[in-house]
Structure 1
């Protein structure tokens, strides 16, 4: 892994790095970059499997992105996450630690409350949050 100075360099070499190709307000091609086809294929299978395992960070990431971007783009984003995780594990000599399926709600609870409130308002409902009393 010393060949790649950062996880972004590895993702670019593999061809799973995100791109923003826009000029004068018009979106250009959104195809995946060319890269190592064998590694990209293996990452695709790993991402597909990881998105189906319950209560994991990668499944939560896949579900969040699928609603906005679609299934294929969400899979490429999960591939990027897996590759970035592998780079960090190999360069820092650490073990894998899953953040959990509830990472997005526990990491920033105010954001989760705003999202729930916005969804309820879109349905024409009002929401009032009260803390649960300790037993």
Structure 2
């Protein structure tokens, strides 16, 4: 339980029991509203998305009694969080700016499900863009502490613990794997197959191992990753649709009735 949730609970506000994340847009707006002493009706109007459908639950959760002491502490926690977020944003901007000389590699890694701009930058900071220093996918996996041993004797499997290596890149790759298994991709399918016979932790290690080997291949061959289970055409259409529609309207080819097809 976060400090914010503890303070709210102490004041009889059970917001954490209704929203999934107190750092979400709706919840944060409501916390600010509570600090400012706004009415419950005003707080309910701050709900967004599916949270609007839980108006009765929210009303019951927000019906508490925050004292001036509660509001004072909440305000300082809120300001501290805002300061930390500002610092993180500056760090992220600095890291991304440092990727300018490595743009080809930075973009390439982002084609892998589970790897975003920041993760791609952090990976490149650790491994670089020249894979000749490692020589093979097996070596980079071992260096990243993502290569389990194969200790077997007389048909009996013994310890298969991960060996020593770079704990930083191992952590980054495991975080990427944790994001990748939630996507609709072949990497996520591998996780589903593994979780049947392995624990979540072991399945994540296996995914991270697969992804670091994949990174080695992409950076070596200098080609983007294409997942057979991802509809890239649909993603591109969704991303570019607003721009295309705007252009069609400019040239007069977008119909007044969207249900009809544009004239040619």
Question: Is 1:74 equivalent to 2:203 in the alignment?
Answer: yes
Q: Deviations over 1:65-84 (max 9, x none)?
A: 11022212111110011101
Q: Where do 1:92-131 residues align within 5 Å?
A: 92-100=221-229
Q: Which residue of 2 aligns with 1:58?
A: 187
Q: Distance in 1 between matches of 2:157 and 2:144?
A: 23
Bigger helix share: 2
Q: Where do 1:17-36 residues align within 5 Å?
A: 17-36=147-166
Q: How many residues align?
A: 100
Secondary structure in structure 2 of the residue aligned to 1:61: helix
Q: Distance in 1 between matches of 2:211 and 2:228?
A: 13
Q: Which residue of 2 aligns with 1:10?
A: 140
TM-score (norm 1): 0.68
Q: Which residue of 2 aligns with 1:107?
A: none
Q: Distance in 1 between matches of 2:204 and 2:193?
A: 11
Q: Distance in 1 between matches of 2:191 and 2:180?
A: 9
TM-score (norm 2): 0.36
CA offset at residue 5 of structure 1?
1.5
Q: Distance in 1 between matches of 2:178 and 2:199?
A: 14
CA offset at residue 93 of structure 1?
0.6
Larger RCO: 1 or 2 (CA < 8 Å, sep 6+) = 1
Q: Distance in 1 between matches of 2:193 and 2:142?
A: 23
Secondary structure in structure 2 of the residue aligned to 1:69: coil
Q: Distance in 1 between matches of 2:148 and 2:159?
A: 12
Structure 2 residue runs without a partner (length 5+): 1-130, 231-264
Give 1 or 2 for the bigger CA radius of gyration: 2
